[in-house]
Amino acid sequence: MRTLARRSLLIRCPVILPLFLALLLAFPALSSAQLVLGQYEDEAPLRTWNIFGFQTAPSLGRGETAFTIAGDCSAALTNPALLVDLPRFTATLNATSYFTSLYKFSIINTGVLSTSVNPSFTLYALDFGGLSYQFKGWALAIAMALVETYDRPSARYESSYNGALYYTLDFHQNGVLRNTNLSVARRIGSRFQAGVGFNLVSGDLRREIVETYLDPGVTISDNKSEGFSGFFLNGGVTAQITDKWRAALAFRTPFSKKSRSKSDVEYFAPGGGTNIRIAADSSDTYKQPFVLGLGASYTFSPGFQIFSDLTYFNWSAYKVEYFGEKMERNFKDTLKFSLGAEYSLRLRVFQVGASVPLRVGLVYDPQPMQEPGSAYTYFSAGTGFHWKMIALDFGASFGRENRSGNSLEARRISLSLSAQL
């Protein structure tokens, strides 16, 4: 469901760097005690920890607000109660370009290799597809989304001696988490709606560090992989308080993201006939937090609405057990705030009614680690063209992180296409 364009980091040095990373990383318990990296942990999603549901282009353009309005069938992953607001049949595809800058990750800027600038990473993905169907006050939906990405910029270190390349170190990490959702919703009377979703998550995470001493031909490699699986429920309720006010509640149950983990460390020196290999596997757990969302919207006129979402993440309950070790995370609970507005221009194209939505939004997104303190602030905008059965939407979000001292940037541009009958 994705294509990648990654940016690599090349580090050159005229002196020898004696790194025996394989010995350090052979046993996860040794390396885990070095640092508490907060948002830079290997399992950290790119950009933000605070992920709930999925935002297609319409939601992204209005500041990721999604609790009280359904732009398409991605509502199944955030507030499935909204599915009954959609037309009889809706099919949606979404594609996204992500740009993220990082500072600390894995062996980069954590005591082994350092950089003078923030490494960056760009990802292009077809990241959502879904179908919904409504009949007699009921709605059903099936959807699949790419909800988390664990990729990091690749890094290569080179060291020379007497003008000749002597030593190289290569680092690679990539991985994703996918969510498959089946949702059902029901209209209750004239003012209430309720829905529930059943979710299966699956994915993988792979990390590789390879050291090569070219002259003696020695190679030290450290490979780790994880295969993820899990199940959780999400749901929501909406209430039409008045003709202009609407309120919503949405939730995600806590769940355990299971991991089948493998570690393979090898020291290979063909000149001396030495080949030492240490392999291990483990059944690990990432206990994901409970999420609760509250939303409100106000309709000024049929074409003009404002939206506000507040999302609580119980990150203090986040626990990680990796190769039998309980990893220190020490996270705090967070409140993510989103504010958005949408105004639709009405027009006629070939004597058929059409609309052009104009969207703006603001997001404040504090991260869960205690130290360093960190939060992202995003500004977003979007538009689209809705005509007959087709809705084409564009959304963009531009943000900057503050309080950690690293001035990280994050940009996201999405294009979604929906067919509605």
- Strand-pair category, 274-288 with 291-301: unpaired
Instruction: Give the DSSP H or E segment for 172.
Output: strand 164-188
Measured CA distances, 212 to 167, 345, 393 (Å):
6, 61, 48
Q: In this predicted structure, what is the pLDDT of residue 27?
A: 36
Q: What is the CATH number of the domain that holds 191?
A: 2.40.160.60
Distance CA 46, CA 149 (A): 6
The 3-state DSSP class for residue 314 equals: coil
Positions of the chain with pLDDT under 50: 2-3, 5, 12-37
β-bridge pairing 155-161 and 9-13? parallel
Which of 201, 148, 200 lies closest to 175, judged by CA? 148
Based on the structure, what is the number of domains in the chain? 1
Domain encompassing residue 61? 2-420
The strand pair at 319-322 and 192-213 is best described as unpaired
Q: Residue 214, class by beta-carbon neighbours within 10 Å (0-12 exposed, 13-18 middle, 19+ buried)?
A: middle
CA distance 179 to 185: 19
Residue 401: φ, ψ to 5°: -90, 145
CA-closest candidate to residue 77, choices 141, 14, 25:
141
User: What are the b/e assignments for 300-310, b being 16+ CB within 10 Å?
Assistant: eeeeebbbbbe
Buried b (16+ CB within 10 A) or exposed e, 379-393: ebbbbbebbeeebeb
pLDDT at position 348: 86
Whether the Cβ atoms of residue 222 and residue 230 lie closer than 8 Å to each other: no
* Predicted pLDDT of residue 39: 55
**What is the pLDDT, as a whole number, of residue 8?**
55
Q: Read off φ and ψ for residue 254, nearest 5 degrees.
A: -65, 150
What pLDDT does residue 105 have? 87
Answer yes or no: are the C-beta atoms of 159 and 13 closer than 8 Å. yes
Predicted local confidence at residue 31, as pLDDT:
32
